[in-house]
Structure 1
Amino acid sequence: MSITLATLLLQAASTPAAPPVEPPPAAQEDAATSATGRLGPAQPAGGDIVVTARRRTESVQTVPLAVSVIGGTALSDTGAYNVSRLTQIQPTLQFYSTNPRNSAANIRGLGAPFGLTNDGIEQGVGIYVDQVYYSRIASATFDFTDTERIEVLRGPQGTLYGKNTTAGAINITTRKPSFTPEARVEFSTGNYEFIQAKASASGPLIADTLAIRLSASVTSRRGTIHNVRTGADVNAQDNKSLRGQLLWQAAPNLDLTLYADYNHQDPDCCAQIFARVGTTQRPVWRQYDALAAAFGYQPPSRNAFDRLTDLDTPLRAKQELGGASLVANWDLGAATLTSVSAYRFWDWDPSNDRDFIGLPITTVSANPSQQKQWSQELRVASNGKHTIDYVAGLFYFRQTIDTQGLQVQGPAASRFLLNPGTPPFGANGCATAAANACNPAVLNGLTARNTIGFTNTSAAAFGKVTWHISDAFSIAPGLRVNYDKKSGSYVSVVTTGSGSTTLNADQRGVLAPQSYQPDFDNWNVSGDITAAWNVARDVHAYATYARNYKSGGINLSGLPLDANNNPILSAATVRPEKVNHYELGLKTQFLDRRATVNIAGFWTEIDDYQATVTNGQLGVLRGYLANAGKVRTRGVEVDTAFRPTARLNLYANGAFTDAKYVKFTDAPCPPELAGGTTATAANPASPAGQAGTAARPSYSPSFCDVSGQRLPGISKWAFSYGAEYAVPLAAGGNIYVGYDGSYRSGFSSNPSESIYTNIDGYALSNFRLGYRADRGLNAFLWLRNAFDKDYYELLATQSGNTGLIVGQPGDPRTYGVTVSASF
């Protein structure tokens, strides 16, 4: 490309400032959106991508915030049919999941602490579907059905959205009911017995007054990991969904839309499998290899990409989720009043193998959970463009969660979790015949039944005013007043294999009875201010400062224990995060809008960052919440799209994200610095990864200073890029070939960085070849992860510092065909 960004800026400086092009009217919104390019801001000459990121209809290029748009066609073509798969086309979006409940979405490295989900805190990335807030990321793990577009908003969004979100928002908009009859169908099939079918239909029930849209989706796929113990293939997919909408045009200026949806998922999922072994500071006879040898055990493969496991606990990831909402829009002339009333539910029925191998260490690990939420948002937004535009709203939210946890230890637990003493060992492998480590009955059948309750109430008033000082310059301050109250109850009753509640010290060290009732409530005021400058017709700049808060929370996964194995009640609550966010952005188009280059730079600092930490005990409490001192993330994002000819679309998006702990002096230690005797002044900490021996015990620090280390789960570099070339046919339609690629650099997969859980960077390539007719037919072959790249989505440690590292391999190469048609 001969025109550089510098050239563009020089041209802009000599061009008189002009007001932005107004977006098409609302009646043309669907057409404007469908006219966009393949991904993001690529668009044909003269076209505009219409978004509602600021709760009004605007062109994406004039919105003064970092936002990416993905249309429904692009979702289908790239195979991005759920939130997880969006990460391959959105570089600043990260999504991690060991099962639907333990899922987290982050933007720019922020949003949710890395590790096991804790229901007692908020998510920093808001998920909205047709303006309804989804309070848990797990409730948004559905397949996209009848989706018109997805907007990924980066940065704090508390002054425009009902629920406060400090990292960003994913705003999903489905297709609306139509008064013109229409239908869409899509069918895909591929290897691993992959089948996906989607269908929707819409039309009037009463002309110009009442319209309906119905849609359905089914996805199934055989698992990619083979369990040699059961003969089953696990990490499968089995999703079914129904969605309905009823639009009533009650008056020319009043419409009401009733939404309802139901999703059912019941796959054989979700397995993490043997990846590698790393030496901890446990005594050498208590390292993983020595413990496995004591049972004569070997995993079916020590290479995770053989995709074999021998898990001996049945896997289940069953969930039902759905709800109903009513959205009303009343055009009052100068402003539109919007009401969003919603109810949602999520029922979770899991079964996991939390020792990750085919030995009966933990035989049951399950936390069935039932969530309900109610929300009401009332919002008013000015219509048209005036000297002063505004959005203001009230929001109320209430959520309840009930969880019934069950943890059962098996006959191998004593040897893995208890200390056999110091050599010399007897014939049974213990220092004394009476050692509990060599008595399977001590922990066999040890059971914790956890009853967990949670109530979350939130209310807010929010608003944003845009003052158009001139056609070229505007100032937009925003304010939010928020109240949050969280209360919970955690009761863990522990019994021995014989049913007794009288426990010895070793048993309490593994599963300790706990009972506590945490409570948190807090008011806070946050705000932001944005200055926007229309440098030229197609050059727009902005600068934003935001002071934001993420609500404090309560620990609902159990508390760490003191020296007497009693819960440390001071850890029951965590303080709110305090966020300072700075951002500069430039949005440009040139070559008759056939080229788009958008740049955003950001700097975000968070005090009292809510982190997941792990205790140094041997027990199954794997993580709880605590406040790190301070974190900082900064970076630059570039979104580009080019349409040099009518036949060719190109895009390239990139993100540089530098995220680190600025101050975290009492963090949990990584596995290579854990598992030994607690270090003292007389016995300082041993070198990392040095196993203890009888002659030379190893000593572990009680905590580690990780200040300056990178935050987990974040790649410093991430890119997505692709192209599509189409050849018109004389008979109509075109043949096209497309490529979509992504790359992310290495990242840490542990809250405190560990040499054992660092994940290498990787690149993925996807291809498609198809035929697109002039009227609604699209058929294409697809090949994803074309070069069969072996990569990990996650790495984790086995509880108890044995040194076992388990992983979640990414999908292997898949291929298939998709046919879609619209009528």
Structure 2
Amino acid sequence: MNRHLDTRRSRPSATLRDDARLFRLSPIAAVVAGMTLLACNPLHAAEGDAPKAEEAPALDAVTVRSRNRIERLQDVPLSVSVVQGQELERLSAYGIDAITKRAANVSWNLGNQRTSSLSIRGLGKIGQTEAQDPSVGVIVDGVNFAYNALTSSFDFVDVDTVEVTRGPQGTLLGKNASVGVVNITTRRPSFTATSDYSVQFSQKQGLLATAAVGGPVVDDLLAWRGTFSANRQQGDIVNQYNRDITYTNTDRISGRVQFLLTPTTDFSARLAFELQPRAGETTNGRTVFTPTPKTYSNGSANTAIDNGTRLSRRWFTQNTGYSLGDYYAELSNDNQRPLVTGSRGTSAELNWKLAGGHTLTSITAYKDYHFNAVNDEGTPFDVMRNSGGFWNDYRQLSQELRISSSTGGFVDYQGGIYLMDVKNVAQYQRSWGNDAGAWWANNGQYNRLDADGAGRALMVASLANLGMYYNSPAGVQNIRNKNAAIFAQANWHLSEPLTVTTGLRFTRENRSNESSSYIVSNGSAPELNPSSVNGVTLGGFDSYYNTGTASRWVLNGNVVPAGTAGATQVAAGAVALTTDTTNAAALAAASAQADAAAKKYFNAANWAALTDAQKRQLADAQSIRKSQIGVLFNSTEAKTFNSTQPALVLSPSYKFSRDLTGYASFQHGEKAGISQLVNGVSTPVKAEKTDSYELGLKSVLLDRTLVLNADVFLSNIKDYQQSVRVVDQYTTALNNDGTFYYTSATGNVPKVQVKGLEFDGVYAGIPRTTLRFSGAWNRAIYKSFTNAAQPVENGYAGAAPYRDLSGKQLAGAPTFSANIGADYRQAAWGDHEFHTSANVAYTSSYNSDVALSSYAVIPSNFLVDAAVGVGHRNKSFDVSLVVKNLLNDDTPRSKTWNSYVPAIPRVVGVLFTSKL
């Protein structure tokens, strides 16, 4: 079947040393072409006292489908890494994070299930917005995932191979990707009956169970394969408010059923159905808080209100069961909920063999994803019922139609069309509780309102039960992305050793985004709403305290000029104003709201009867509410992105000998621009364009016991998409005081450059042992980035709105990374064998903050997974002790100047596997 790893081996190669000939080597992670992991056959001694000599494995015989064909990996002129499914299974490495730790220069940026992202060569590390394409494409069984979240909360079980291809892709592999592709192929149905299972029990009440069954339904006509998994485990950190919630727990159940139909020798069809029911994992909130520094980077005092200041207020200290020390020592979140995710999918892959050796392939697929987050501010107080979380419903529909010629001769080629339709409805939710007013008030507001009972009632009412689709970057986004592409690639065999690969793609992108931000529930005090915000009518009134001779009613801080209808009453303090100061009815309605508030909170006849101190308290409560409401805007269509984008590959390769191949490549790729709003104003993002150059060697050495591949690369990226500092057009226009205001938003970094060296190899020259190794030196810098945001430590008064990061290392891009995998097998008594496996992943230090805060540097670290076990050589039963994070590395996942996300500590489990 298409995209299935060809396990056929080439003819026997030269033998290993004499003592190595007694054994065959076990399956391991395969070799990189540039960073390639190779697979070997099961290692065991023959039964009986005298082991039987075996031929050495052909380490260079692994084949891949990175170019939609079964090709010998060493002949592919690309930087490709291959991880074998058996290696993942031996160490229970089923998540995308664990998979990427088996190949160098590819990493998983850990956020939550929605914000995590893949990076290759340091590019794409920073999480995406909902309207943005991922930089690294993911393909599962021929189906592109156009949304990072589709891979972040899913266990990839029953995997055949994982291929990581670096550099811009798109002239062959479904949807275009500007940085690279991770291609995951699962095991397919066959007409050979199979039944495998594994069960792992681990600490924290962990249970991981997988099963794969299948075989013929109708001989030579219909076969099936079912794959099922359940993965549940408590997290290592307990929420002290609700101890049944732990961080970061695992709760995943998934199933995949495939059918293979082969009615003729010239046609086959594979149908797949998959389901991951909705379940919750508490990923957000795994944050340890630390005291905020008292000074900024320039030495000036930091007088900003932080959570430590808030928790020191009487309102919170009167609860003697919780203190500021508890805030720094434990997690105690009253409104934290697990992040709920779920997914469904179906696909149909049809293959026809046509006359002339051509094959026509059609892949039709549907995939959806649901995400819902309810977060907390980090205390047991009723501050935020939801401190901010997305509700996402995502779906994609894709169609690929491809024709492939037969190989051999002067040229072989592929070409086709690709269509994708994406719809993503994203709602950013935020709601406030009874303690929110006391939490969000500034010091002056808090002191005035906490002075008496009426003020405290106002402080509660200011935000209690308020609910919004909050502006971040919009309350509601209706995102629609459509693209259509035509692509072709050809291999020109100019001579027996020389082949030139050419490829071209044109993708038409059409992207739109209709957004709005608005109040869902006015909560306990609709009368405290302003009359309107940004043209959105709220039906309240607007108060402002003039520190001069009198308090007066104004709109947005603007005093009503003399002669305006109602101005006399305003000056006398008798009425409130609305947006339309000439509308008598509106003035009357606003006045009624002001009078109702006076009666409700002070039992006064009307607003005019209030004292100045009471008017000030009322104005304080309204100010708190307005500051939290923020930006509102009616449904607005952002500027669409419409463009035809090219992708290009030109790659000559030369086979110096069967064991040494050199190649060069030039690749051009583009990532679509973004249709988005920033504070209700259309702020489009330009397309990201990458030119990548690569030189590589692929070799088989030391009597064919060592495969060593290496490449050097250079990538120049124009208009790199990430968070930048931009003019806040909304606030600038609102204040209209001649001052420009700024905010951070997804935008374009003018120039980024990445260059480096990658290597990967497999060594099988040690008896009963296989070693896999890979590494990279990666220099990723901002070549031109003058509009970066200031880090938090530069938040002192008078700091420039922009920071120049030109020449600095990209956020999330370590300079060095490496991994080593080892597998050892030894014949034991009877038909048993002893085995042990390990994987070591090293990452040098990097900055986890896009603003490159000096507080956000993550130090270099090692992560070691290991397993040791014994079982039957025929795989009928095996038991292993599996340890994740063997050395208990405690390097934080991310850091800020007053918090960090701790590492996942060591976990020990016992794994049972069997083939029935």
TM range (shorter): 0.7 to 0.9
1:19 aligned residue: none
- Structure 2: distance between partners of 1:299 and 1:613: 36
Once the two structures are TM-superposed, the CA of residue 278 in structure 1 deviates from its matched residue by: 4.1
SS of the residue corresponding to residue 73 of structure 1 reads helix
Aligned: 1:473 with 2:484: no
Does 2:477 correspond to 1:366? no
Aligned to 1:684: none
Counterpart for residue 410 of structure 2 = 387
Deviation of the 1:366 alpha carbon: 2.7
Q: Which residue of 1 aligns with 2:914?
A: 821
Give 3-state SS (helix, strand or coil) of 2:280's partner: coil
The answer to whether the Cα contact below 8 Å between 1:185 and 1:822 also exists between their aligned partners in 2 is yes
1:804 aligns with 2:898: yes
Alpha-carbon RMSD: 3.0
3-state SS in 1 of match to 2:765:
strand
Q: Which residue, out of 135, 139, 158, partners 1:124?
A: 135
Higher Cα radius of gyration: 2
Match of 2:778, SS state, is: strand
Which one of 869, 883, 887 corresponds to residue 783 of structure 1? 883
Say if 2:399 is the partner of 1:352.
no
Check whether the contact 1:190–1:816 (CA below 8 A) recurs between aligned residues: yes
Identity of aligned residues (%): 26
SS at match of 1:351: coil
Partner of 1:137: 148
| Number of matched pairs | 750
Q: CA deviation at 1:57?
A: 0.2
Contact 1:286 1:416 in 2 (8 A): no
Distance 1:335 1:226, change over 3 A: same
- Residue aligning to 1:661: 782
Q: Kindly state the Cα deviation for residue 452 of structure 1 after the two structures are TM-superposed.
A: 2.0
Contact 1:529 1:545 in 2 (8 A): yes
Counterpart for residue 448 of structure 1: 468
CA contact 2:492–2:499 (8 Å) conserved in 1: yes
CA contact (8 A) 2:212 2:226 kept: yes
Deviations 1:503-544 (A, max 9, x none): 866444432102321122111222120111112111111111
Aligned partners of 2:5 and 2:63 also within 8 Å: no
For structure 1, the 5+ residue unaligned runs are 1-23, 561-566, 677-697, 797-802
Aligned partners of 2:696 and 2:441: how far apart in 1?
Answer: 56
CA distance in 2: counterparts of 1:335 and 1:258, whole angstroms: 22
State how far apart, in whole Å, the 2-side matches of 1:318 and 1:614 are: 32
Residue deviations 1:266-293 (CA, integer Å, cap 9, x gap): 2341223124344375852524433332
- For 1:507-586, list aligned pairs within 5 A: 507-510=625-628, 511-515=630-634, 516-518=636-638, 519-555=640-676, 559-560=678-679, 567-569=680-682, 571=683, 573-586=684-697
1:660 offset after TM fit, Å? 1.6
Distance between the aligned counterparts of 1:780 and 1:234, measured in 2? Answer: 27
Does residue 96 of the first structure (1) align with residue 109 of the second (2)?
yes
Alpha-carbon distance change, 310 to 456 in structure 1, aligned in 2, over 3 angstroms: same
* Aligned-partner residue type, residue 337 of structure 1: L
Structure-2 separation of matches of 1:411 and 1:37: 57
Corresponding residue for residue 326 of structure 2: 300
- After the TM superposition, which residues 128-527 of structure 1 pair with which residues of structure 2 at under 5 Å, given as runs? 128-141=139-152, 142-232=154-244, 233-270=246-283, 271-279=285-293, 283-284=302-303, 286-294=305-313, 295-296=316-317, 297-298=323-324, 300=326, 302=328, 308-332=330-354, 333-353=356-376, 355-364=377-386, 365-414=388-437, 417=440, 419-420=442-443, 439-449=459-469, 450-494=475-519, 496-497=522-523, 498-499=525-526, 500=529, 501=538, 502=540, 506=623, 507-510=625-628, 511-515=630-634, 516-518=636-638, 519-527=640-648
How far off is 1:414 after superposition? 4.6
Query: Residue type matched to 1:517 in 2?
Result: E
CA deviation vs aligned residue, 1:9-42 (integer Å, no higher than 9, x gap): xxxxxxxxxxxxxxx9999924559975344334
Q: Is the contact between residue 288 and residue 804 of structure 1 (CA under 8 Å) also seen in structure 2?
A: no
Equivalent residue of 1:645, what SS? coil
Distance between the aligned counterparts of 1:285 and 1:403, measured in 2?
A: 32
- Give the direction of change, closer, same or farther, for the CA distance of 1:27–1:163 in structure 2 (3 Å limit): closer
Query: Is the contact made by 2:772 and 2:820 (CA closer than 8 Å) also made in structure 1?
Result: yes
Among 582, 589, 601, the residue aligned to 2:712: 601
Q: Structure 1's 277 and 604: CA in aligned 2 closer, same or farther, altered over 3 A?
A: farther
Q: Distance in 1 between matches of 2:90 and 2:280?
A: 24
Is contact 2:450-2:456 (8 Å) kept? no
* Counterpart residue type for residue 807 of structure 2: G
Distance between the aligned counterparts of 2:780 and 2:767, measured in 1?
Answer: 40
Tell me how far apart the structure 2 counterparts of residues 489 and 786 of structure 1 sit (CA, whole Å): 49
Provide closer, same or farther for how the CA distance between residues 592 and 599 of structure 1 changes in structure 2, counting only shifts above 3 A: same
1-side partners of 2:476 and 2:662: how far apart? 52
TM-score (norm 2): 0.77
The 5 Å alignment of 1:643-682 reads 643-674=764-795, 676=796
Match of 2:86 in 1: 73
Hey, what's the Cα distance between the residues in 2 that align with 1:50 and 1:493?
55
Q: CA deviation at 1:377?
A: 0.2
Tell me how far apart the structure 2 counterparts of residues 468 and 553 of structure 1 sit (CA, whole Å). Answer: 40
Distance 2:135 2:447 in 1: 54
Superposition pairs of residues 53-68 of structure 1, within 5 angstroms: 53-68=66-81
Matches of 1:730 and 1:524 in 2, distance apart? Answer: 62
Alpha carbons 1:652, 1:719 under 8 Å: kept: yes
Q: How far apart, in 1, do the equivalents of 2:169 and 2:747 lie?
A: 24
Q: Which amino acid aligns with 1:311?
A: N
TM-score, normalized by length of structure 1? 0.86
Aligned ranges 1:608-627 → 2 under 5 Å: 608-613=719-724, 624-627=745-748
Structure 2 unaligned runs (5+)?
Answer: 11-24, 32-36, 41-56, 318-322, 470-474, 530-537, 543-555, 557-622, 732-741
CA contact (8 A) 2:724 2:749 kept: no
1:29 equivalent in structure 2: 6
Supply the distance in 2 between the matched residues of 1:818 and 1:503 (Cα, whole angstroms): 65
